[in-house]
Amino acid sequence: MHTLALPKKTSPRRPAADYRRRMIWTQRIRHLTQLTFAAFILYTSVIHHLATVDGTTASIDALCPFGGLETAWQVLSTGGQFVPKTHQSNLILLFGLLAGTLIAGGAFCGWVCPFGAVQDALTWLRRKLHLPEVYIPAQLDRVLRYGRYLMLALILYQTIVSVKLWFADIDPYRTLFGLDWLFEFNPAIAGLAYVSLIITLVTSLFVERAWCRYACPLGGAISLVSKFSLLRIRREESGCKGCAVCARPCPVKLPVDTATTISSDCIGCLACVDACPRHDTLDVRLAPVWLDWTHRNQTTEANHAR
């Protein structure tokens, strides 16, 4: 006997022109914000190089929240001494980033980080040049993402033991934005840094946001803290049509179309939210992790009660 399956009830469609316009404008504002921060870091770097005679201007080392994380143990264990090349500004930026991440998750990576901007620019370039994109199979992708935590643990351990910025000499972000390659090109001293930068840039040209997804230690730390963020993107299963349109523009390749609460690896670019053609189905919501726990406990209790 045949049974008639009832069509799944979904939220009403948004007018196509409406959500396309929103998508374009959100991404324009995001890229403008990224560009502003990248320009500021480059400006600081140029000024620092031009003023090395009197040495009065800060280097970009002083403007990195990861430096705050690297120096935190030294400051706590010695009652106030910093790892060389780090300053109070690093700690202030670290606290700012921590607060921002606890509110808005990984938005720093999507909207602020200049190295994220460089990788977005490489994706734009690849598309313009019609170069092929390299897709990492989902299972391998899941394993490779642990690379960020390994980098984080290794760098923090080595920095604590050696009391110097252990990773700085080969950090691709610092190599690129520090501009030593422009003002003091020296392959004999910085050869390894140049190789690290070139490998990172070439990989990120073909694999979207490769550095962020697999190697960035700061990205790893942000992802850990993001698990507790207040705002998160949630997908309402009841309204979802299962078209997977939302998953396509994700720069960090998250399975948005199958998740309920989007992973803490999300960089908050909002491309998926704007791409979803259904009203109120994919949205930024106040969704702290304890709400998930409460929901899970209630579901379990309800299941037990049946």
Sites of contact with ligand SF4 (CB under 6 A): 109, 113, 115-116, 211-212, 216, 218-219, 233, 249-252, 254, 256, 262, 266-272
Buried b (16+ CB within 10 A) or exposed e, 29-53: ebbeebeebbeebeebbeebbeeee
Locate 94 and state its tokens.
């670290």
Q: Under a CB-based contact definition with an 8 Å cutoff, are residues 74 and 160 in contact?
A: yes
Report CA-CA distances (Å) from 249 to 1, 58, 87, 163, 254. 43, 37, 38, 41, 10
Q: Work out how close the CB of 184 gets to ligand SF4 at its nearest, in angstroms, rounded to a whole number.
A: 24
Locate 284 and state its tokens.
């930024």
Cβ nearer to ligand SF4, comparing 2 with 255: 255
Q: Work out how close the CB of 287 gets to ligand SF4 at its nearest, in angstroms, rounded to a whole number.
A: 13
Q: Work out how close the CB of 98 gets to ligand SF4 at its nearest, in angstroms, rounded to a whole number.
A: 13
Direct distance between the N- and C-terminal alpha carbons of the chain, in angstroms, rounded to an integer: 29
> Residues, the chain, total?
306
Cβ nearer to ligand SF4, comparing 50 with 199: 199
Cβ nearer to ligand SF4, comparing 69 with 271: 271
Cβ nearer to ligand SF4, comparing 48 with 217: 217
Cβ nearer to ligand SF4, comparing 179 with 267: 267
Cβ nearer to ligand SF4, comparing 102 with 163: 102
Q: Under a CB-based contact definition with an 8 Å cutoff, are residues 70 and 100 in contact?
A: no
Report CA-CA distances (Å) from 22 to 56, 256, 258, 283. 44, 19, 23, 13
SS percent in the chain: helix, strand, coil, step 5: 60, 5, 35
Cβ nearer to ligand SF4, comparing 121 with 306: 121
CA nearest to 77, candidates 154, 159, 151: 159
- φ and ψ of 87, to 5 deg: -145, 180
Q: Work out how close the CB of 13 gets to ligand SF4 at its nearest, in angstroms, rounded to a whole number.
A: 20
Locate 28 and state its tokens.
């324009």
- H helix or E strand, kind and range, residue 234: strand 231-235
Q: Work out how close the CB of 101 gets to ligand SF4 at its nearest, in angstroms, rounded to a whole number.
A: 10
Residue nearest to ligand SF4 (CB): 219
Cβ nearer to ligand SF4, comparing 94 with 212: 212
SS3 87: coil
Please state, as a whole number, how many other Cβ atoms lie within 10 Å of the Cβ of residue 262.
Answer: 23
